Structure 1
Amino acid sequence: MNKMGTIIGFTFKNKVKTKSFMVTTIVLALLITIGLNIPYFITLFNGGPIGGGAGGNQPVNIGLLSTNQTEVAEKLETYSSAQGNETYRVVNDAGKDEAALKADVESGLLDGYLKFEPVAGQDFPQPVLYSSEDISPQVIAPIEAALQIVKLDVVVKDTLTAEQKQLISTPVKLTEQSLDSDQSGAAVESEGGMSGINYVVVYLLIILLFTSTMMTGNMIASEITAEKSSRIMEILITSVSPLSQMFGKIIGIFMVGLLQIGIFGAVVAGNMLLPHNRDVLSDFNMNLSDVNIAVIVYGLIFYILGYFLYAVMFAAIGSMVSRTEELGQAVLPITMLSLVSFYIAIFSIATPNILLLKVASFIPFTSPTAILVRIGAGVAPTWQIWTSLAILVVSIMIFGWLAAKIYRTGVLMYGKRPTFKELFKAMKAYKI
């Protein structure tokens, strides 16, 4: 165990100190930062919508053209003042015509003005907002809500009480429930239940699982092959058992991967907490508090298990290759398996209840991403999640045992890649 710890520490320090790791981590962190801030940069260069810029705490001033619609204008002014909304302020100057309001907008006294245009056969006019620049949806939404209340008040007049008007004006939200239930009998959400923020989280986790597994897996295989081709392996094999070597490298590089994920996670969290990015999330009706914690927890668990499943296979393949030039072709089958897992999850993220995704949730090579989509959508019963976990753990034990036997015999086989017959005969002679 002490020797394995030494290998873990040596592998971790050796990889973290390399220029390739530092450059890759910095470049990817910068790309993530730029990608998350692209909407803000576009808004910044375009001047941005009124009332939507970061740090803009000044309310938007909206004038009212109340000609022939004095009742509507007065009710809107009264309601807006009572609400105390800080995003906009209604300015009702009954003495100004449209030309005067246009002049106020051009001079900057107003950000825009509302004109109430009569509609034939209807008691309520059509409101039109005129402005020289686009006004943020964060301002438009409360104005529309206020107009809805005013419309109700104008149409029903005094036939309803204030409580009845409030009840009618409250939006109705539809809650969907699936007939499928988990072991506890609790209903799970339907396939349309994934919120926008959880959709983004699941999408990012799938990409992270794929890229991290491929990067660290190839790192494991290339390091083993490089040691074997330089004959260093012959020295190492005499001082440390092959099993300690293999799992020491796998755990050491796993820690490197976790460090990189932690850095990227901190970069994403730091950028999403910036004021202008919080505004972007609110524009898309996304709230970080709505993130499903189960997605994050299970995502981490399935990432760890999925990593070890693919890592032991990469280590086994790397031990069978004598030259680094042959490594790309040797690991191609594992790469294809990982791509299949990635594409099944990505192309099924909008339809998490399809049969393909359900079946893939119980296949160890595809379950880390497939089950994550179903967890994010809330359509995976608890028993299915734990069954998928159990199958994955058993698969890791089986493939880990096979990989250890292959590694023990493969690292000392030089020249051409051994055939399955040669490998099988050599594996039979080695007892774990």
Structure 2
Amino acid sequence: MNKLGTVIGFTFWNKVRTKAFVITTIIFALLVTIGVNVPYLIKLFTGDDGNKETKIGLIYGSQSEIALRLEQFAASQPKAGFKLVKYEQADEKALSKDIEDKKIDGYLQFKDAPAGQFPEAVYTSKAGSLDMGLQNALQSGLQIVKTQYITKGSLSDAQVAALNQPVQIDAQQIKGQGGTEASGKGKQTGANYVFVYIMIVLFWMTTMMTGNMIASEVTSEKSSRIMEILITSVSPLTQMFGKIVGMFLIGILQIGIFGAVIAINVMLPHNREAFSQLNIDINQLDLSVLLYGLVFYVLGYMLFSTLFAAVGSMVSRTEDLGQAVMPITMISLASFYIGTFSASSPNSMILKIASYIPFTSPVSMLIRVGLGDVAMWEVGLSLLILLVSIFVFGWLSAKIYRTGVLMYGKRPTWKEVRKAMQAYKI
């Protein structure tokens, strides 16, 4: 046990002190910082303070009734995002001069239409395009004006608003034998969504980063012949599991650093208001989602890390490592893509099947627990399969590691590894 602790500590501190680790961590922290502050940076470089209203010239012309209704709608909306400036007629020279003088940003006019039909609206500006936010605001207002124009005032403002309100459709499953609904709808909160997606990304990133570090560490020790000295004082199995735990602690350290960077940036004054509009309440996070997420994260890491260590022990040159770990990388990518593309339908058949496959269950079962409906026996069965797989692949990887660390030259075939494994007992 003392030797295992020594290997863990040596692996951890030896990797943390390297320039590559420090530089990589700093670069990722800077990327996270830039990503969180993208909205603020856009406003900073474009000169938009976030409170500027777009000034739109509204041409009354022959469609004075529609223009008046739109002006009344804008006046009733304190945060419409645009301000209307009245123009009786469409004088293109005068309007173009006002745009050049920045009195207005563009102008809106309505084409002639047959009686009883709503005319087409045309927005003219220097850029020749509409900002997405402004377009949505104008479309919402024009939709209400269109309803009022067609109904000719026969509906009240409340009735018009109710008529334009989108119809909501809630999905649920049929009742089971016990009479209880199995919709899982209560779990689909903003906090659960954010936590699940963060865990999926972190699981994939840390598995790939630490897994490749484990494999490259073993390969570099073999290529430099240091392995021959190490095994005289520490058994190969102690080395293998010491490296796995040490790299796991490095991954946890990086997650803690990135989490602190995100928290600091979110709490900045210019970001606090923006993120508060997302309506994400941390109190809505289901504790069972947090617990199962951590359990599947740790177990999934242990499964993949043992495979990376076994593959790394079979490679004698670092140049061949990328090709050797490619199958594990593809499996990890498959798990990541299944999770991200199926998160919108957590009760789908593909997720149910993937939750019982040990290589995909950490991500798939996390989505089902966090966003869908899953019985306790399903979670227990998935955990049992994952634990058995960790034991089997851990035992197999340990045998491969013990024989592979002293096999030099070209990468051995599976037949050669199997014969060498028969000489050792784990």
* Structure-1-length-normalised TM-score: 0.75
1:182 to 1:30, Cα distance in 2 relative to 1, 3 A? farther
Pick from 419, 422, 427: which aligns with 2:420?
422
- How far 1:364 sits from its partner (Å)? 0.5
1:16 to 1:86, Cα distance in 2 relative to 1, 3 A? same
What is the CA–CA distance in structure 2 between the aligned matches of 1:349 and 1:83, rounded to whole Å? 36
Hey, what does 1:289 align to over in structure 2?
Answer: 280
- How far 1:96 sits from its partner (Å)? 7.3
Hey, what does 2:23 align to over in structure 1?
Answer: 23
Q: In the TM superposition, what whole-angstrom CA distance separates every residue of 1:183-232 from its partner, at most 9, and x where no partner exists?
A: 9643146xxx999x959974x76565344323312321332344455554
Corresponding letter in the other structure for 2:421: L
- How far 1:421 sits from its partner (Å)? 3.1
Pick from 87, 107, 111: which aligns with 2:101?
107
Q: In the TM superposition, what whole-angstrom CA distance separates every residue of 1:93-151 from its partner, at most 9, and x where no partner exists?
A: 44775543333223210112221223214253333222223342222222222222233
- Verify: 1:302 aligned to 2:293, yes or no: no
SS of residue in 1 equivalent to 2:280: helix
Q: In the TM superposition, what whole-angstrom CA distance separates every residue of 1:21-53 from its partner, at most 9, and x where no partner exists?
A: 2233344455666778889989998x6xxxxx7
What is the CA–CA distance in structure 2 between the aligned matches of 1:163 and 1:179, rounded to whole Å? 35
- Verify: 1:392 aligned to 2:386, yes or no: yes
Query: Given that residues 217 and 311 in structure 1 are in contact (C-alpha distance below 8 angstroms), is that contact kept between their aligned partners in structure 2?
Result: yes
Query: Given that residues 361 and 368 in structure 1 are in contact (C-alpha distance below 8 angstroms), is that contact kept between their aligned partners in structure 2?
Result: yes
- Verify: 1:138 aligned to 2:133, yes or no: yes
What is the CA–CA distance in structure 2 between the aligned matches of 1:373 and 1:242, rounded to whole Å? 37
Hey, what does 1:61 align to over in structure 2?
Answer: 55
- Verify: 1:163 aligned to 2:161, yes or no: no
Query: Given that residues 32 and 268 in structure 1 are in contact (C-alpha distance below 8 angstroms), is that contact kept between their aligned partners in structure 2?
Result: yes
What is the CA–CA distance in structure 2 between the aligned matches of 1:89 and 1:96, rounded to whole Å? 18
Pick from 165, 170, 189: which aligns with 1:175?
170
What is the CA–CA distance in structure 1 between the aligned matches of 2:48 and 2:291, rounded to whole Å? 32
1:405 to 1:149, Cα distance in 2 relative to 1, 3 A? same
What is the CA–CA distance in structure 1 between the aligned matches of 2:153 and 2:322, rounded to whole Å? 78
**Equivalent residue runs for 1:247-396 within 5 Å:** 247-264=241-258, 287=278, 289=280, 300-319=294-313, 327=321, 331=325, 333-342=327-336, 344-345=338-339, 355-372=349-366, 378-379=371-372, 381-383=374-376, 384-396=378-390
Identity of matched residues, %: 48
Runs of at least 5 residues in structure 2 that lack an aligned partner in the other structure: none
Query: Given that residues 206 and 251 in structure 2 are in contact (C-alpha distance below 8 angstroms), is that contact kept between their aligned partners in structure 1?
Result: yes
SS of residue in 2 equivalent to 1:186: coil
What is the CA–CA distance in structure 1 between the aligned matches of 2:90 and 2:337, rounded to whole Å? 61
- How far 1:403 sits from its partner (Å)? 3.7
What is the CA–CA distance in structure 2 between the aligned matches of 1:328 and 1:74, rounded to whole Å? 68
What is the CA–CA distance in structure 1 between the aligned matches of 2:324 and 2:389, rounded to whole Å? 21
What is the CA–CA distance in structure 1 between the aligned matches of 2:322 and 2:118, rounded to whole Å? 70
- Verify: 1:213 aligned to 2:211, yes or no: no
Query: Given that residues 404 and 417 in structure 2 are in contact (C-alpha distance below 8 angstroms), is that contact kept between their aligned partners in structure 1?
Result: no
Pick from 76, 81, 84: which aligns with 2:75?
81
Corresponding letter in the other structure for 1:395: S
Query: Given that residues 106 and 125 in structure 2 are in contact (C-alpha distance below 8 angstroms), is that contact kept between their aligned partners in structure 1?
Result: yes
- How far 1:14 sits from its partner (Å)? 0.8
What is the CA–CA distance in structure 2 between the aligned matches of 1:366 and 1:171, rounded to whole Å? 38
Corresponding letter in the other structure for 2:110: F
- How far 1:260 sits from its partner (Å)? 2.9
Query: Given that residues 183 and 373 in structure 2 are in contact (C-alpha distance below 8 angstroms), is that contact kept between their aligned partners in structure 1?
Result: no
Hey, what does 2:403 align to over in structure 1?
Answer: 410
Pick from 132, 142, 145: which aligns with 1:147?
142
Size of the aligned set, in residue pairs, is: 412
What is the CA–CA distance in structure 1 between the aligned matches of 2:82 and 2:385, rounded to whole Å? 56
What is the CA–CA distance in structure 1 between the aligned matches of 2:93 and 2:273, rounded to whole Å? 34
SS of residue in 2 equivalent to 1:129: strand
- How far 1:248 sits from its partner (Å)? 2.2
Q: In the TM superposition, what whole-angstrom CA distance separates every residue of 1:262-283 from its partner, at most 9, and x where no partner exists?
A: 445566677788999999999x
1:180 to 1:259, Cα distance in 2 relative to 1, 3 A? farther
1:278 to 1:270, Cα distance in 2 relative to 1, 3 A? same
- How far 1:254 sits from its partner (Å)? 1.0
Q: In the TM superposition, what whole-angstrom CA distance separates every residue of 1:404-429 from its partner, at most 9, and x where no partner exists?
A: 4554x4377455755313313311xx
